[in-house]
Amino acid sequence: MIIRLSELYAKQAILNKRIKNEHNLFDDDLFLDQVLALLVEIGEASNSSRHFKYWSTNQKPKEDLREEFVDVLHFGLSLGLEIGYHLGLVKAHIGSDLTTHTLLLAERVIQLAQARDPKIPKSLLIERYENMMQYLLGLGIMYGFSEEEIIEGYKEKFAENMSRQATGY
């Protein structure tokens, strides 16, 4: 499945600029903070999906799974903006099972962070970002969300995040 992201990058840029402006962060390098936030959000989405909780008799995903996945997407988009790159279309990579796919996504996030080294060509950083986004969007598809549900969920969370910034979140 191919997912269109251009509109989402534009919205994320608005939110990121607002956050940086309101918190006086324009001179700060937020890349590693965003990497860590993305890893945390991947964990929160996993917790809501419950796919790895073999010890539990309740395997039904929590109601907030889409919102948690959209948080993952927000930080994925932010990382692209932070490195000065965005994708118009992304072909989602669909894995064989959720646990393996989630771990491979986390690995790709860390590989992206490692490629931020100034000694490494920017082309490798871009390649790793593209690959990470393929796995990130694949995770949403594997959770059972359509492109429309992902985009609509993003727009809803974007509006909530803008409102939160207005109220001093």
The structural domains of the chain, with segments of one domain joined by +, span: 2-166
Tens of pLDDT along 132-162?
999 999 999 999 999 999 999 999 999 999 9
Class in CATH terms, 2-166: mainly alpha
Contact 104, 135 (CB under 8 A): yes
The reported pLDDT for the residue numbered 169 is 66
Q: Answer whether residue 168 shows pLDDT above 80.
A: no
User: Could you write out the three-class secondary structure of 12-55?
Assistant: HHHHHHHHHHHCCCCCCCCHHHHHHHHHHHHHHHHHHHCCCCCC
Among 166, 163, 141, smallest CA distance to 151 is for: 141
In terms of pLDDT, which residue wins out, 59 or 125? 125
In terms of pLDDT, which residue wins out, 86 or 167? 86
Tens of pLDDT along 76-118?
999 999 999 998 999 999 999 999 999 999 999 999 999 999 9
Q: Side-chain half-sphere of 131: how many Cα atoms within 13 Å?
A: 18
- What average pLDDT does this structure show over 113-125? 94
- What average pLDDT does this structure show over 59-80? 96
Query: Residue 3 is inside which H or E element, if any?
Result: strand 2-4
- What average pLDDT does this structure show over 62-83? 97
Tens of pLDDT along 14-49?
999 999 998 888 888 899 999 999 999 999 999 999
